[in-house]
Chains A and B, each alone.
Chain A
């Protein structure tokens, strides 16, 4: 099975669907000959031409507006927003228009549109280029949200998004674009609302998304050496959210830790934690723990690594939950020597 970067996997999904759907077009800035800010649309302009790979001006709001118009009138559109941080400029079109139009127009129109936007966290670009904003959209009925953490999931989820009749916010992660996973040559789709069991375990359930998944994998591997068995789940989609898988896991382990790069306050961990409280309170034998980004604007430069969850923090949080004291020196040594491979 070929190893593909997440960027190649998304590119392949777009190319395959553009080949079979003549009414599928791409809109955005720098998606043409330039190939996308992070190279995800590379080669598509050359293959499908300027009509279908439409480089446009900087106007995120109207670009999404045009994409909605295209989608409600017999075509399908994909918009690239260069950084998820710019989504605020297009917020009304996404949350008031795309998400709700099918409902408030009584089902007379459908909005088959994908808005691709990368989180560019953990890359030191500061307060307006490195945020994780997925929680904003979980608060919006009518919008599907994918947030893959590896190439395999990214391709399967993008393929499904490109066959869905609804608007999908597809949250990529620029830091993970170059990480590789095995991706089958044969076609496959990944359904929305089906979490991925990254590894099975018995002592504790850990939920991680997007940029925290690699950190969680590192932490889980280290904890395994200490004899602590963690069940790691990547929900992959936030709407629909696979609450069943999470709740079943908590019923088995009795403990839950949720981690994300976004600010802790109002983050998706609050929603996931509350759902578990509502459905599995009696199974919990410890308080639910959140390990999340700090509630401050993301600082620029590399000094900000402490502002988003690192494997070390996850290990320490798990050990506290298990009533154990971490050996800080051993942990540091281990993490320095471990390299992450996704998937």
Chain B
């Protein structure tokens, strides 16, 4: 199974310029969000830590573009971008990163715990792989209630080594639940490269042992990701069960803004920058005849959205003590 390449012109033609431009805007919004998060962290305005997804925007946007608004999504602590891609308002996400009362989780979750049920986002999770079976259960629930919803679960190469990943491959295939597992293989689990953590080069291969549909896609190519996920989502929605998609990706930043030290070699870093999904998509859009001016407009708009989100967050109050000690149990 090879990496899906760009240039499938027929498929590209199926997507309108407006749609592609909207994706481009979302990718830029995510990039600006993460750059601002790193900046705010360095200024001491974000407590704890934050895990940027810079260079992984294509996977988030391509995947969520293939979903219905009522489809469901779970992700990891590196999930800011995916929440934006699924439709969450960056204002409430940024306020959450800054632990403010106006945050999507009332400032109690922080950078690693984001949620927006109104957009089908059932939470980002800070225990590696723990949300994978939970996503399986969400998909099971949709199947039993016959809602027609598909659940997407994002996780990284690190999570693919955890037992719960394998358990969920088994259970979700056994029960044919409408689940799409998106493994963002960004090459590193904190500092350990996949060459020193994975017994086989392709994580997607693991699905084969469970008889599960699987694919590998260039995670830096938003159009390729969209087509692969779209097909998996349709398959799931038709009752044919789950798919594991490995998106080969990169991570420019350290594991978290809190992490010490660097581990990648400088040459590799240069290579990453060449596959940056945003300039790459920009080039494609120009080639399709979208005007430079339009792209500039969208880029500026993304920056404005995030500037306003940061202002909103900074001007928001911190949660009250009453809120922080309350809400342990649901009514």
A101 to B: closest C-beta gap in Å: 7
Residues of B within 8 A of A301 (CB): none
Q: Check if A69 sits within 8 Å of B137, measured CB to CB.
A: yes
Say yes or no: A57-B137 contact (C-beta < 8 A), given A108-B105, A142-B328, A165-B330.
Answer: no
Say yes or no: A62-B141 contact (C-beta < 8 A), given A103-B108, A107-B330, A108-B116.
Answer: no
Q: Check if A166 sits within 8 Å of B134, measured CB to CB.
A: no
Looking at B110, B141, B328, the one whose CB has the most chain A CB atoms below 10 A away is B141
Q: Check if B168 sits within 8 Å of A73, measured CB to CB.
A: no
Known contacts A65-B164, A73-B141, A104-B108; 14 further A-B pairs (Cβ under 8 A): A59-B163, A59-B170, A62-B133, A63-B133, A65-B131, A65-B134, A68-B133, A69-B137, A69-B138, A73-B122, A93-B130, A106-B107, A106-B109, A165-B329
Residues of A within 8 A of B136 (CB): 62, 65-66, 69
B76 to A: closest C-beta gap in Å: 13
Q: What would be 11 A-B contacts, judged by CB atoms less than 8 Å apart? A: A23-B144, A57-B174, A59-B163, A63-B133, A64-B133, A72-B123, A72-B137, A72-B138, A105-B123, A165-B330, A166-B330
B98 at interface by CB-CB < 8 Å: no
Residues of B within 8 A of A25 (CB): 144
Residues of A within 8 A of B (CB): 23, 25, 51, 54, 56-57, 59, 61-75, 77, 92-93, 96-97, 101-111, 141-142, 144, 165-166
B60 at interface by CB-CB < 8 Å: no
Interface residues of B in 285-331 (CB under 8 A from A): 327-331
Residues of B within 8 A of A92 (CB): 127, 130
Q: Check if A68 sits within 8 Å of B104, measured CB to CB.
A: no
Say yes or no: A141-B328 contact (C-beta < 8 A), given A69-B139, A106-B106.
Answer: yes
Say yes or no: A66-B329 contact (C-beta < 8 A), given A74-B145, A103-B108.
Answer: no
Q: Check if B327 sits within 8 Å of A70, measured CB to CB.
A: no
B140 at interface by CB-CB < 8 Å: yes
Residues of B within 8 A of A (CB): 72, 103-110, 113, 115-117, 122-123, 125, 127, 130-142, 144-145, 163-164, 167-168, 170-171, 174-175, 327-331
Docked complex Cα distance between A195 and B117 (Å) = 37
A156 to B: closest C-beta gap in Å: 19
Residues of B within 8 A of A70 (CB): 137-138, 140-141, 144
Contacting residue for A165 out of B106, B138, B331, CB 8 A? B331
Residues of A within 8 A of B171 (CB): 56-57, 59, 62-63, 66
A323 to B: closest C-beta gap in Å: 43
Q: Check if A75 sits within 8 Å of B144, measured CB to CB.
A: yes
Residues of B within 8 A of A105 (CB): 105, 109, 113, 115, 123
Docked complex Cα distance between A68 and B134 (Å) = 6
Residues of B within 8 A of A54 (CB): 175
Docked complex Cα distance between A54 and B107 (Å) = 37
Q: Check if B167 sits within 8 Å of A61, measured CB to CB.
A: yes
Docked complex Cα distance between A67 and B133 (Å) = 9
Q: Check if B113 sits within 8 Å of A68, measured CB to CB.
A: no
Docked complex Cα distance between A65 and B127 (Å) = 12
Residues of B within 8 A of A77 (CB): 137
Docked complex Cα distance between A18 and B116 (Å) = 30
A133 to B: closest C-beta gap in Å: 20
Contacting residue for B138 out of A23, A73, A107, CB 8 A? A73
A187 to B: closest C-beta gap in Å: 22
B96 to A: closest C-beta gap in Å: 8
Residues of A within 8 A of B105 (CB): 104-106, 108
Docked complex Cα distance between A105 and B109 (Å) = 6
A18 to B: closest C-beta gap in Å: 13
Say yes or no: A69-B141 contact (C-beta < 8 A), given A57-B171, A93-B133, A96-B130.
Answer: yes
Residues of B within 8 A of A165 (CB): 329-331
Docked complex Cα distance between A165 and B163 (Å) = 29
Q: Check if A103 sits within 8 Å of B328, measured CB to CB.
A: yes
Chain B residue at minimal CB-CB distance from A65: B133
Looking at B108, B117, B137, B331, the one whose CB has the most chain A CB atoms below 10 A away is B137
Q: Check if A62 sits within 8 Å of B167, measured CB to CB.
A: yes
